Amino acid sequence: MSRRRWTSIGGSAVPSVGQVVTYAILIGLSIVVLAPVVWAVLSSFKTQSELAQRPPAPLPSSLATANYTEALGSFDFGLYLQNSVIVTVGATLLTVVVNTMCAYGLAKYNFRGRDVLFLIVLGTIMIPLQLIFIPVYQMAAQLGLVNSLWGLIIPPAATPTGVFLLRQYMLGIPDDLIEAARIDGAGEFRIFARIVVPLCGAALAVVTIFSVMWRWNDFLWPLIISQDQAKYTLPVALAQFNSQLSVPFNYILAMSVVSMLPVVVIFLILQRHIVRGIANTGFK
């Protein structure tokens, strides 16, 4: 580090030009990242006339929650919130269960067809729903999943990335442990549930966090499946209302903040795990 050469009498380093530039860029970008979010949150407390005011006031006149209570009262906002919660929780549970089981089967058994199945999993990591949603929709329609929350829960549950990540993690669990349990007379499922799953905490945390993030924020698939307004999730309701002029913008803002809040809170609590989890796998 070149800054040692710049040491002053007091012993504290005088920052080099490079460091000043680095800090300036990082601080500047942090403002660009944070400002819109903070602005939106502050504005969600403003009245309609305050929002229309030019130039805009930086702070709302009071931290009134009127927008929130009114938005909740005048739309089925509660219902959309409930749909989002049911879909996110249901889909995440299903994702974690089927992905973990599948990963275990692929990681710890030697069976006919295993390599083919694993190759299929790997190969489809590159097929996001966005590229094939028409045939997926057709399949969902044939199975009667359109306009039902099941249609939002089941189809996206088998994520190849989840299987891949968990399998890689399970390869690190020693086979001797499983053999020892077998000798002690434990059944196959019992070994999985009581020995393997508890050892996969870190990988399960990453899959869970990502599933919650994806399902909660998902838009295209819910837009396709929820054709009836009663089945809207928050993002779909927000996007649809935003395109209607009849819905006041202060309500949209309040709903936006509510739909941001849970993931941001989860993120801030679990950010160490998320960052480490991604850093360790290098994949999404």
Enter the DSSP assignment of 55.
S
How many whole angstroms separate alpha carbon 95 and alpha carbon 102? 10
Write out the DSSP string of 84-130.
HHHHHHHHHHHHHHHHHHHHHHHHH---TTHHHHHHHHHHGGG--HH
Based on the shown chain and the rule CB under 8 A, indicate whether residue 180 belongs to the binding site for another protein: no
Cβ-based nearer residue to another protein, 19 or 79: 19
Nearest distance from C-beta of residue 191 to another protein, angstroms: 9
Using CB under 8 A as the binding rule, the residues of this chain from 94 to 113 that contact another protein are 97-99, 101-102, 104-106, 109-111
Q: Which residues have CB under 8 Å from 57's CB, separation 6+?
A: 46, 50
Based on the shown chain and the rule CB under 8 A, indicate whether residue 246 belongs to the binding site for another protein: no
Stretch of residues binding another protein (CB under 8 A), selected from 17-25, 64-72, 85-93, 199-207: 17-25
Based on the shown chain and the rule CB under 8 A, indicate whether residue 24 belongs to the binding site for another protein: no
Based on the shown chain and the rule CB under 8 A, indicate whether residue 146 belongs to the binding site for another protein: no
Based on the shown chain and the rule CB under 8 A, indicate whether residue 186 belongs to the binding site for another protein: no
Q: Which of 162, 174, 177, 45 is closest to 96 using CA atoms?
A: 162
Based on the shown chain and the rule CB under 8 A, indicate whether residue 7 belongs to the binding site for another protein: no
- Among the listed residues 28, 73, 172, 187, the single contact to another protein using CB under 8 A: 187
Stretch of residues binding another protein (CB under 8 A), selected from 52-60, 64-72, 73-81, 199-207: 52-60
Q: How far apart are the first and last CA of the chain?
A: 34
How many whole angstroms separate alpha carbon 34 and alpha carbon 11? 34
Using CB under 8 A as the binding rule, the residues of this chain from 53 to 82 that contact another protein are 54-56
- Count of CB atoms within 10 A of residue 199's CB? 15
How many whole angstroms separate alpha carbon 164 and alpha carbon 182? 26
Nearest distance from C-beta of residue 58 to another protein, angstroms: 10
Stretch of residues binding another protein (CB under 8 A), selected from 59-67, 74-82, 158-166, 199-207: 158-166
Based on the shown chain and the rule CB under 8 A, indicate whether residue 26 belongs to the binding site for another protein: yes
